[in-house]
Structure 1
Amino acid sequence: MGKKLYCGNLNYDVSSSDLEQMFGQYGMVESAQVITDRDTGRSKGFGFVEMNSDAEAQAAIDGLNESMQGGRALTVNEAKPRENRGGGGGGGRGYGGGGGRRY
């Protein structure tokens, strides 16, 4: 299995296909995805690329991190595992502080 990379500060016009071509210069790209807003479908300015090998991933990091693309300096590094943000619950009124109705 390859290595997953984070690519940030992308121009909002960059597509997943563009991302794949950009990283393809450094090796075999397993997958490339620009993250989009679920409501508008617009790019959020970052994406993830999975490279075929660790060596190819490192070559992409070395070649693309801080490089200028579309007038912006890219941030390219190893993707960190997704944090569990916890599920639902929450908010609501606090019980046990002053105020509010008494039943």
Structure 2
Amino acid sequence: MNIYIGNLDYGVTEEDLREAFGEFGDVSSANIITDKFTGRSKGFGFVEMSSSDDANEAIESLNDTDLNGRTIKVNEAKPRAERPARRYQY
């Protein structure tokens, strides 16, 4: 299951996410979304867990808890909605 983690402190690393979520089961991947120009964290990320039961336990346990001084929001990641093509004006 793919899990969304929001309101992350900009200093949180993917290893921090692996450690926090690893307490609940096997973490397949951890990814912090960064700005493509600056490389700076955008303050959210995703964790993939192999077991849905472990993922649900992690969501319930970690939502609205403190991670590096920020109260994080944790929920099941929703598929990205189709976005209309950008229209550029010249």
TM-score, normalised on structure 2? 0.93
What does 1:62-101 correspond to in 2, within 5 Å? 62-88=60-86, 90-92=87-89
Q: CA RMSD of the aligned region, Å?
A: 1.3
Match of 2:14 in 1: 16
Q: Per chain length, whose mean CA-contact separation is higher, i.e. which structure has more relative contact order (CA < 8 Å, sep 6+)?
A: 2
> Residue type matched to 2:19 in 1?
Q
Aligned residue pairs, count = 90
Match of 1:60 in 2: 58
Q: What SS class does the counterpart of residue 20 from structure 1 fall into? A: helix
Superposed CA offset, 1:34-80 (max 9, x none): 00000000101100001111100011001110001122111000001
- CA separation of 1:11/1:81 partners in 2, compared to 1, >3 Å: closer, same or farther? same
Match of 2:28 in 1: 30
Larger Rg: 1
List gaps (5 residues or longer) in structure 1: 94-103
Runs of 4+ that moved beyond 2 A = none
Match of 1:43 in 2: 41
Superposed CA offset, 1:5-62 (max 9, x none): 0000111001111111111011000111000000000101100001111100011001
> Residue type matched to 1:73 in 2?
T
Q: Partners in 1 of 2:88 and 2:35 — Cα distance?
A: 24
